Structure 1
């Protein structure tokens, strides 16, 4: 779908599609490099049972040099996007925790 959008006659759509394709390729490269460098076969199971949300601001770029702008239990900021990222990270945490709790092999004592 992104490839098709990248061919759009509308320059805004085309630019956004190309940017998304490029960002996805960069993320894939990072994941691939991490998977080769990390030995997870002997990793201990996760034991964190509380939310630890940290929201960073990349200033609208793909630069991974980030500034921490909000973390767990901080007050809301004046930036709507930061607050939404924080809130929905919590929603995602809650959903994932409930789903994993329903699978016996993933329960943490």
Structure 2
């Protein structure tokens, strides 16, 4: 679903802001441009989904997660090295169907 469906159009959510859709690959992971997503896992901590792990061709991953009120992203090393608030680290669950 990540690669097969078109992106939603940007929309206004009234006083809560707006949703914009943009390709930020160059900013967060330029080496993944054009790579196909082959796996998708939810990252779970304390029974709550806190992010996603995208698996790409050639065994590359990109993790996108929220810790506290901050958005983070990075490869497996950045994810493991992150200074998590609290003691329990998130785990990748079963694959989510693409």
Q: Tell whether the structures are fold-level matches, with TM greater than 0.5.
A: no
Normalising by structure 2, what TM-score? 0.29
More strand by share: 2
Q: TM-score, normalised by structure 1?
A: 0.27
Which structure would you say has the larger Rg?
1
Which is richer in helix? 1
Question: Which structure is higher in RCO with an 8 Å CA cutoff and minimum separation 6?
Answer: 2
